Amino acid sequence: MKIKFKQDKDTILKLLKTANIKRKLRILDKMNSVNEKDSIKILLKILEDYSWTLREKAAYKLAEYGKKVVPRLKKLINRGYWFSRAAACITLGEIGDIKSLDSIIHLLLFDDNPTVTREASTALVKIARQDPLRFSRKLKHMSLDELEMLKIFIILETNDTEIYSVIKEFTQNE
């Protein structure tokens, strides 16, 4: 079955209300001619969908818009359901913007959901890999106590020993 529809935000959002996941995925794949502003709104809305497959696909598509979506993702991290927070972490990790580090670390330290903390851990490591020196400086200037800092370093060491060594050296030498 082919899906043909008027490609505007309201029509797409209406079509995405279906319970059929395959149909939602096809709609997501066919969002090519929607303008950037509307695409971002639609993708952010999809991050709140109940389907992990759909959210994950939307998270990677949203990352293509780069740093301009970071403020909205940070808001979603603070108010969204656990599955929306996890999906937002995927996008933030792919973007790698150091400005999202405080939100990611907050989730790592205070969120009780294991899926959220796993995705936040992955995002943390990806952000650290982008620019280890800036990451170290930002980390050092955050108000983290010794145990919180230890948790961050354990996550780094567990996921990427090389980046852990670099970050550790930078934070000790500054």
b/e per residue 89-128 (b: at least 16 CB within 10 A)? bbbbbbbbbbebbebbbebbeebeeeebbebbbbbbbbbb
**Domains in the chain, CATH or no CATH each:** 9-173 (1.25.10.10)
pTM: 0.84
Instruction: Express each pLDDT in 61-87 by its tens digit.
Output: 999 999 999 999 999 998 889 999 999
pLDDT, one tens digit per residue, over 124-143 is 999 999 999 999 999 999 99
- Length, in residues, of the chain: 174
Round the CA-based radius of gyration of the chain to a whole number and report it: 18
Distance, in Å, from the CA atom of 89 to the CA atom of 125, rounded to the nearest integer, reads: 11
Share the mean pLDDT of the chain. Answer: 87
